Every structure is written in C-alpha cells, then in structure tokens.
Structure 1
Amino acid sequence: MMDNFTTDYSGAGGSGKMDTGSIMEQVKVQIAVANAQELLQRMTDKCFKKCVGKPGSSLDNSEQKCIAMCMDRYMDAWNTVSRTYNSRLQRERARL
C-alpha cells in the first residue's frame, strides 16, 4: 500500500506538471468560503448594531424578529447586487 502511494506521488511530482484545473477549483472554493465568511461577519455586525440596543444574556422577542428581518433584507440586497454584478461581467466579457 505504501509503495503505491509513494509511486503515485513521485510519478505526479516527478513529471513537473501541475494539475492547474484542480488548483483553480481549489482556489475558487477557498475564495467562495472567504466571501461567505465575510458576508456572514458583515451581516452579523450590522444587524446586531441595528437591533440590539443593550446587550444582555439573551435576545428578547423584538430583537430576534429585528435580527431575522435585517438578515433577510441584507441577503436580498446581497443577492441583487451579486446578480447585477455577474450580469455586467457577462456583458463585458461578451464585448471582448
């Protein structure tokens, strides 16, 4: 078993060729995760500041509703901007 792993690894590494498609996919996934984390962080910060006047040990009913609505609105806005941005990118690429 170990010999197969070593042979496969050295065969791929020894050729000097990288699987650029695989690397690009990994980079795309990492960027998507980073973007999702940033979105969640921004949304959390903005909605918390907007909805929670005096932080305590728990959220009251109105704070919970406010946060839920704020997050829904934030996601709707994010999706609208993303769709518009992607549409514009596609139009620009088509011109090239």
Structure 2
Amino acid sequence: MSSEAAKTQLMDTVRQQAAMQNARLLVEKLNEHCFERCVPKPGSSLSSGESTCYTACMDKYMASWNTVSRQYLSHVQKGPPKF
C-alpha cells in the first residue's frame, strides 16, 4: 500500500470515528435533555403526553444540532481569517 493510500485510509477511519463519536454525543444529549424534561417520573411505560413531548423535543434538538453543525463545517471549510 502506498503512503498516499495509507494516508487516505487513515483519514477515512478518523472521519468515521469522529462521526460515530458525534452520533453517540447526540444520543447522550438527547436523552439528557429531552428525557429529563419530558419524563419527570419514569414508570414502566411512557404516557402519550410524555411520548409526544419527547418526540417534539428530539425533533427540535436535532434540527438545532444540524443547524449548528452546518454552520461549524462552513466556518471550518473557510479556514482561518486572513489579516
């Protein structure tokens, strides 16, 4: 394997690991934020109100996450400011 191919493979692996870490972080934050907010007294199942609240909370959180991620990537791709 050439050094360029090895470098490309390594970069792909790092990107995949970063994506997996971001996915884990998203799920963790969703559970932290939405579950605590929508399920004040956990039981054996979710009520319809808790389920509706949790779904709406997840949708809003993921929309916000996606907006922030797009803006961050846009900023990173532009590179450092030029003085």
TM-score w.r.t. structure 2 length? 0.85
Matched, 1:81 2:68: yes
What per-residue deviation string (whole Å, max 9, x for no partner) do you get for residues 25-66 of structure 1? 111101110111111111111100000011100000000000
Higher RCO, 1 vs 2 (CA within 8 Å, ≥6 residues apart): 2
Q: Which runs of 5+ in 1 are unaligned?
A: 1-11
- The reply on whether 1:50 has 2:56 as its aligned counterpart is no
SS at match of 1:55: coil
**Which is higher, the Rg of structure 1 or of structure 2?**
1
Matches within 5 A, 1:1-96: 19-92=6-79, 95=82
Aligned residue identity for 2:63? D
* SS of residue paired to 2:13: helix
1:92, distance to aligned residue in structure 2 (A)? 2.9
Aligned to 1:7: none
Deviation of 1:85 after TM superposition, in Å, equals 1.2
- Quote how far apart the aligned CAs of 1:93 are: 5.4
TM-score, normalised with respect to structure 1: 0.75
Count of matched residue positions in the alignment of Structure 1 and Structure 2: 82
Q: Percent identity?
A: 42
In structure 2, what residue type is equivalent to 1:65? T
